[in-house]
């Protein structure tokens, strides 16, 4: 797919105001680079190269992606990818089982944060064996996907002012601990997300599978607005349950210092019907529209950095461990 949005690495954080309804915490802005904590980037000159993908920041600050054999529009292929059967089976279940009721049950179960106590980095290592069944683009482990995303972001956003962004790339999928530790099946952990409690959009992947969802014919949940008011804002919308929402809630629960832009990325990076297809705009508010830029900016790193070359975990660990402690307590309640 086409990368969306114009990157603004020098944009200010004026829009990153704290919203009380969202319980989001704002990071203290550090515009001056006083110390360089960075290990060497994957390659010199702001370019990172992997076996099939080259990502570099050009002089005008645009992200250039050369996928070497895998054209940009070959990502998110839900028609005939090598993983088609696995992905289709996944979405049959996901679209059937994500209901208002099942989401409420999962919220009740996991928002007590009694699952585990471990550091962000230990969680990354813990998840290393997981392969995401909903993903047609990679069979890499979660650790490599995390490092590829983080390092691709760091090429374009190398300064301390934006250090929250590579960190967000590193941790964005840690909510998948729901599967690895919680033992939850993948239908309620991974895949694209969408609101429950209102009409499912046909801009979701495999929209035909929603016909087997009990909410599909519900007198209220099947209507355009369902249980929501027009443009009520995504903070008032219940999303299908998965690693996005869970990690966002864990960030709030553990009092992370990440800026609102990072929390939006974490919470809505799988909400492709919104950030890629412009669906559900009848539910979003001004704050969502402002934050959409960052979700889109993140999305291309999440997607296009999926490649086959592996980063050295040992080399990158000290840098990211230090960065984690800038924004999170040493032990996270999961
Ligand atoms: Fe994800
Ligand atoms: Fe991801």
The SS3 of residue 201 is coil
Banded model confidence at residue 43, pLDDT cuts 50, 70, 90: very low
Which region among 7-16, 149-158, 221-230, 277-286 has the lowest average model confidence (pLDDT)? 7-16
For the segment 206-215, the average pLDDT, to the nearest whole number, is 98
Ligand 1 midpoint to CA 219 (Å): 32
**What's the 12 CA to ligand 1 centre distance in angstroms?**
26
Please give the Cα distance from 66 to 16 (Å, whole number): 32
Q: What confidence score (pLDDT) does residue 132 get?
A: 64
Mean pLDDT (the chain, rounded): 80
**Closest ligand to the CA of 193:** 1
Please give the distance, rounded to the nearest whole angstrom, from the Cα atom of residue 173 to the centre of ligand 2.
5
Give me ligand 2 centre to Cα 301, in Å: 9
Is the predicted pLDDT of residue 205 greater than 60, yes or no?
yes
Which of 92, 271, 272 is closest to 187 using CA atoms? 92
Average pLDDT over residues 235-254: 98
Identify any residues that bridge with 69 across adjacent strands, giving them in sequence order. Answer: none
pLDDT tens digits, residue range 95-148? 999 999 999 999 999 999 999 999 999 999 998 876 666 766 666 778 888 999
- In which band, very low, low, confident or very high, does the pLDDT at 286 lie, cut at 50, 70 and 90? very high
How far away, in angstroms, is 268 Cα from ligand 1 center? 9
Report, in angstroms and rounded to the nearest whole number, the Rg of the chain calculated over CA atoms. Answer: 19
Instruction: Give the pair of three-digit tokens for residue 206.
Output: 């495999």
Mean pLDDT, residues 147-171: 96
Residue 255 Cα, ligand 2 centroid: separation in angstroms? Answer: 22
CA atoms within 13 A on the CB side of 320: 28
Angle at 51 between CA 47 and CA 205, to 5 degrees: 95
Q: Between 13 and 325, where is the model more confident?
A: 325
Q: 52 in helix, strand or coil?
A: coil
Predicted pLDDT at 208: 97
23: left (phi over 0), alpha (psi -120 to 50) or beta: left
**134 Cα to the center of ligand 1, angstroms:** 10
Ligand number with the minimum distance to the CA of 137: 2
Q: How much is the pLDDT for 131?
A: 64
| Range in 36-45, 50-59, 265-274, 289-298 the model is least confident about | 36-45
Q: Is the pTM of this model over 0.85?
A: no
Least confident of 54-63, 104-113, 153-162: 54-63
Indicate if the pLDDT at residue 71 is higher than 70.
no
- Measured distance CA(126)–CA(120) in Å, rounded: 10
Rounded to the nearest angstrom, the distance between the alpha carbon of 175 and the centre of ligand 2 is 10
């Amino acid at each position: 797919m086409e990368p969306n949005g114009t990157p603004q690495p020098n944009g200010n954080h004026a829009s990153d105001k704290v919203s009380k309804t969202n319980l989001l915490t704002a990071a203290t802005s550090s515009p001056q680079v006083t110390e360089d904590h960075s290990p060497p980037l994957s390659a010199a000159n702001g370019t990172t190269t992997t076996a099939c993908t080259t990502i570099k920041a050009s002089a005008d600050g645009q992200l250039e992606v050369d996928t070497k054999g895998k054209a940009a529009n070959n990502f998110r292929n839900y028609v005939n990818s090598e993983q088609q059967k696995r992905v289709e089976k996944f979405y049959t279940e996901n679209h059937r089982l994500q209901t208002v009721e099942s989401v409420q049950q999962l919220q009740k179960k996991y928002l007590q944060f009694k699952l585990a106590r471990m550091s962000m980095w230990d969680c990354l290592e813990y998840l290393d064996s997981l392969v995401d069944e909903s993903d047609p683009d990679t069979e890499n482990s979660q650790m490599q996907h995390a490092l590829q995303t983080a390092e691709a972001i760091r090429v374009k956003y190398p300064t301390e002012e934006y250090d929250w962004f590579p960190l967000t790339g590193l941790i964005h999928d840690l909510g998948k601990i729901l599967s690895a530790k919680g033992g939850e099946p993948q239908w309620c952990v991974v895949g694209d997300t969408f609101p429950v409690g209102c009409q499912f959009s046909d801009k979701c992947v495999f929209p035909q599978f929603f016909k087997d969802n009990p909410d599909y014919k519900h007198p209220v949940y099947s209507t355009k607005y369902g249980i929501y008011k027009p443009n009520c804002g995504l903070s008032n919308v219940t999303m299908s349950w998965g690693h996005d929402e869970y990690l966002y809630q864990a960030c709030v629960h553990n009092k992370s210092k990440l800026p609102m832009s990072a929390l939006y990325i974490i919470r809505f990076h799988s909400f492709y019907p919104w950030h890629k297809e412009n669906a559900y705009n009848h539910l979003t508010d001004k704050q969502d529209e402002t934050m959409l830029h960052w979700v889109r900016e993140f999305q291309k790193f999440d997607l296009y950095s999926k490649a086959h070359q592996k980063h050295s975990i040992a080399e990158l660990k000290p840098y990211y461990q230090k960065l984690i402690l800038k924004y999170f307590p040493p032990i996270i309640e999961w």
